[in-house]
Amino acid sequence: MDLLPLFMNIRGASCLVIGGGEVAARKASLLLEAGAVITVVSPALCLGLQQWQDDGRIEHLKRGFSEQDLQNKTLVIAATDDHAVNERVSELARARNILVNVVDNPALCSFVMPSIIDRSPVQIAISTGGASPVLARLLRAKLESTIPAAYGRLAALVERFRTPVKKRFPTVNARRGFWESILQGKVAELVFAGKEQQAERILEQSIAVGDESTVGEVYLVGGGPGDPDLLTFRALRLMQQADVVLYDRLVSEEVLNLCRRDAERINVGKARDKHLVPQGEINQLLVKLAKEGKRVCRLKGGDPFVFGRGGEEIETLAAEGINFQVVPGITAALGTAAYAGIPLTHRDYSQAVTFVTGHMKNGSMDLNWPALAQTNQTVVFYMGLKGLPVICEQLMTHGLSAETPIALVQQATTPRQKSYTGTLATMPELISGKEIQPPTLIIVGEVVRLHDKLKWFQPSA
Ligand code: SAH
């Protein structure tokens, strides 16, 4: 180990920043956050530093560095673009046992500044010892995405209960076991979901009973349109935490693969005879699993509240008093629009967008056709492939021009994405005989004209 990681209490200590540019400002900003008293020496200041000086948050010496500036300083940062000055600062500071950092020059440093993930009071610092700041930054981005922003709030909650827990569990081992179950279980999840009062109540109960409650919970998670990169941080975290995953047909293989390896997976989109598991049975299964104490991830394609029947599933849970949370996902319309280069609204062509279901019942669709056939708007049809000829015909019958552009996009956001564009008059014929692979989405409106210019994602081209 070349460097010893430390977290330093610098509140009230005098620190010197040499240099007045953006880099100096970034370092000064960290020192300020940690409560240091800062003097900046530099002939000129960038806007940020100037603002802090105006606000009285830093002291400014408007000149070059001189040796006496080091007097009574605890820590020094040299951020000038003059190598000779930086070298001199380093030498003088070290001779006085003052901690010194020279930006971008590890050889001149007695300490380096790490990349930081701040979930105060939890802090994670990453250093490559100056070998590769970019690598440290990439690592940081990875960790940022998997450590919920509310970790700090969780730590603060736990801190408040340290004394009662110490009293309740006299041995270190018992305490450790207790905290492990709390920090990986329901209490933590409630804090992350913004239900802090409930978390506190359950924590109190758990301390009284001596264990965490064994009632499970359900996460209703939107898995997005297919590309796993479009999952939210929260979706990914809950997918990796759940003991059981109930998924349906729309959830892509790539997304499903991100669930915890040893989690039980139940496909409720397709039973052996290729029929869907009836909605009522899914609702009951969720209740049953949660009552067995399991953490259940109900993983749905797109967003759970957009043509996803997610509402019905959590109504049953609510009625049974089972804890749940809902994680939004990118709905097919938004994923398709982005990946096919078709903006859903546009200042010149479309002032509104409507999402409708094109699902056929007894050979027709029960839709408000006069409203859908207005110009200056975009209409997105979910589940519309079978009914495409009906959609085109009805829109024309109710007044839209036969020339109105229409797009049909298959398996949007996946490597199998494919787009077909035409007009209301030509589309049904254009795709007849083509092997279209569901799911597909239909977009109608002038905005479809932009597809040719804006298409950027063409995996099968
Ligand atoms: N809850 C989902 C929609 C469920 S309805 C969501 O928010 O996206 C199912 C319909 O969604 C499909 O028939 C299809 O029209 C559309 N769909 C879902 N994923 C899609 C994809 N990757 N590409 C195109 N259409 C998709």
Whether the CA torsion 438, 441, 444, 446 is positive or negative: it is negative
Contact at 8 Å (CB) between 391 and 365? yes
Of 330, 360, 379, the residue that ends a domain is 330
189 and 283 housed in the same domain: no
Give the per-residue pLDDT at 129: 82
Q: How far apart are CA 92 and CA 84, in angstroms?
A: 12
| Cα-to-centroid distance, 300 and ligand 1 (Å) | 10
Same structural domain for residues 296 and 339? no
Residue to substitute in 307, 359, 409 for testing ligand 1 pocket (most ligand atoms within 8 angstroms of CB): 307
Same structural domain, 234 and 273 = yes
More confident residue, 460 or 152: 152
> Which residues have CB under 8 Å from 397's CB, separation 6+?
369
Flag whether 139 is in a domain.
Answer: no
3-state secondary structure of 249: coil
**Enzyme catalytic residues:** 248, 270
For residue 448, give its domain range: 333-454
CA-closest candidate to residue 28, choices 300, 172, 287, 19: 19
Q: What digits encode the pLDDT tens for the residues 210-256?
A: 655 566 889 999 999 999 999 999 999 899 989 999 999 999 999 99
- Residue 221 and residue 313 in one domain: yes
**Centre of ligand 1 from the C-alpha of residue 275, in Å:** 18
Residue 101's pLDDT is: 97
CA–centroid distance, residue 303 to ligand 1 (Å):
9
Collapsing DSSP to helix, strand or coil, 97 comes out as: coil
pLDDT band at 149 (very low <50, low <70, confident <90, very high): confident
Which ligand 1 atom sits nearest the alpha carbon of residue 225? 22
Higher pLDDT pick, 342 / 274: 342
Q: Give the separation between CA 17 and CA 30, rounded to whole angstroms.
A: 12
State residue 98's pLDDT score: 98
H and E: helices and strands count for the chain: 18, 17
SS3 439: coil
CA of 450 to the centre of ligand 1 (A): 22
98 contacts 10 by C-beta, under 8 angstroms: no
Q: 195-199, 284-288, 457-461: lowest mean pLDDT where?
A: 457-461
Tell me the per-residue pLDDT of 6-44, one tens digit each, with 9 for 90 and over: 999 999 999 999 999 999 999 999 999 999 999 999 999
Atom of ligand 1 nearest to the CA of 381: 15
pLDDT at 272: 47
Residue partners of 191: CB distance under 8 A and separation at least 6: 150, 153, 154, 157, 199
Amino acid of residue 57: R
How far apart are the C-alpha atoms of 59 and 63, rounded to whole Å? Answer: 12
> What is the rounded distance in angstroms from the CA atom of residue 406 to the CA atom of residue 448?
6
Q: What is the CATH number of the domain that holds 442?
A: 3.30.950.10
Please give the number of the atom of ligand 1 that sits closest to the Cα of 382: 15
pLDDT of residue 174: 81
Ligand 1 centroid from CA 397, angstroms: 26
What is the reported pTM? 0.78
Distance in Å, CA 336 to ligand 1 centroid: 9
* Mean predicted confidence (pLDDT) in 98-119: 93
Long-range contacts of 290-294 (CB under 8 A, 24+ apart): 290/215, 290/216, 290/217, 290/218, 290/317, 290/322, 290/323, 291/215, 291/216, 291/320, 291/322, 292/216, 293/214, 293/215, 293/216, 294/216, 294/242, 294/243, 294/244
Query: What is the structure's pLDDT at 461?
Result: 57
Give the residue whose CA is nearest to atom 13 of ligand 1.
383
- Note whether 19 and 90 are same-domain residues: yes
- Kindly state the DSSP code that residue 169 receives in the 8-state scheme: -
Ligand 1 atom closest to the CA of 413, numbered from 1: 22
CA 250 to ligand 1 center in whole angstroms: 7
Atom of ligand 1 lying closest to residue 303 CA = 7
Classify residue 425: in a domain, yes or no: yes
Residue 120 lies in a domain: no
Q: Residues near ligand 1 with C-beta < 6 Å?
A: 225-226, 250, 300-303, 306-308, 331-332, 336, 382-383, 409, 411-413, 439-441
pLDDT mean over 409-429: 97
Determine which residue's CA is closest to atom 24 belonging to ligand 1.
440
For ligand 1, mutation pick of 312, 382, 420, 440 (most atoms within 8 Å of CB): 382
Rounded CA-CA distance 62/404 in Å is 66
Query: Is there a contact between 152 and 119 (Cβ–Cβ < 8 Å)?
Result: yes
User: What is the distance in angstroms between the CA of the first residue and the CA of the last residue of the chain?
Assistant: 50
Considering the domain architecture, whether residues 254 and 318 belong to the same structural domain is answered as: yes
Q: Are residues 197 and 221 in the same domain?
A: no
Looking at the structure, do residues 198 and 234 belong to the same domain, yes or no?
Answer: no
Residue 455, pLDDT score? 96
Let me know if residue 270 belongs to a domain.
yes
Is residue 7 helix, strand or coil? coil
User: 190 CA distance to ligand 1 centroid (A)?
Assistant: 30
**Whole-angstrom Cα distance, residue 394 to residue 48?**
60
Grade residue 270 by pLDDT with cuts at 50, 70 and 90. low
Say if residue 164 is in the same domain as residue 249. Answer: no
Query: Are 165 and 100 found together in one domain?
Result: no
Q: Which CATH number goes with the domain that contains 71?
A: 3.40.50.720
Pocket test for ligand 1, best of 220, 221, 250 (most atoms within 8 A of CB): 250
Atom of ligand 1 nearest to the CA of 383: 13
Mean pLDDT of 355-367: 90
Mean pLDDT of the chain: 93
Q: What CATH number should be reported for the domain holding residue 286?
A: 3.40.1010.10
How many folded domains does the chain comprise?
Answer: 4
Nearest CA to ligand 1 atom 11: 382
